[in-house]
């Protein structure tokens, strides 16, 4: 994963991306916005997001997305059952 060497977040406080001290409530909106601002100017954002989506559920901001946003991106529609008539 050599893309990590070019990550903009390397020069930032990790607590911005993985907040501590607020277990159970997740990152604050301000922390999330600040982390996403760093991601928007990151040259490896696409690689980071693809890696995070492949890795599955994970805490923190990756590729400019929250865990909940990544979950929404990977949700697939439930296929109709074979015996069911659909309009």
Q: Would you say 5 is a known binding-site residue?
A: no
Interatomic CA distance for residues 48 and 43, integer angstroms:
10
Tokens found for residue 80? 């109709």
Measured CA to CA, the distance from residue 59 to residue 77 in angstroms comes to: 24
Name the residues that contact ligand SF4, by CB under 6 A: 7-9, 17, 38-39, 42, 44-45, 48, 61-64
Q: Is 39 annotated as a binding residue?
A: yes
The reply to whether 67 sits in an annotated binding site is no
Q: Which parts are annotated binding residues for [4Fe-4S] cluster?
A: 9, 39, 42, 48
Q: Which parts are annotated binding residues?
A: 9, 39, 42, 48
């Amino acid at each position: 994963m050599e893309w990590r060497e070019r990550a903009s977040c390397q020069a930032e406080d990790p607590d911005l991306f993985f907040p501590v001290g607020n277990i159970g409530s997740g990152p604050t909106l301000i922390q999330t916005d600040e982390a996403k601002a760093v991601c928007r100017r990151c040259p490896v954002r696409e690689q980071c997001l693809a890696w995070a989506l492949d890795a599955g559920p994970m805490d923190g901001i990756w590729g400019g997305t929250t865990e909940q946003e990544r979950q929404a991106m990977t949700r697939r529609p439930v296929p109709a059952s074979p015996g069911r008539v659909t309009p």
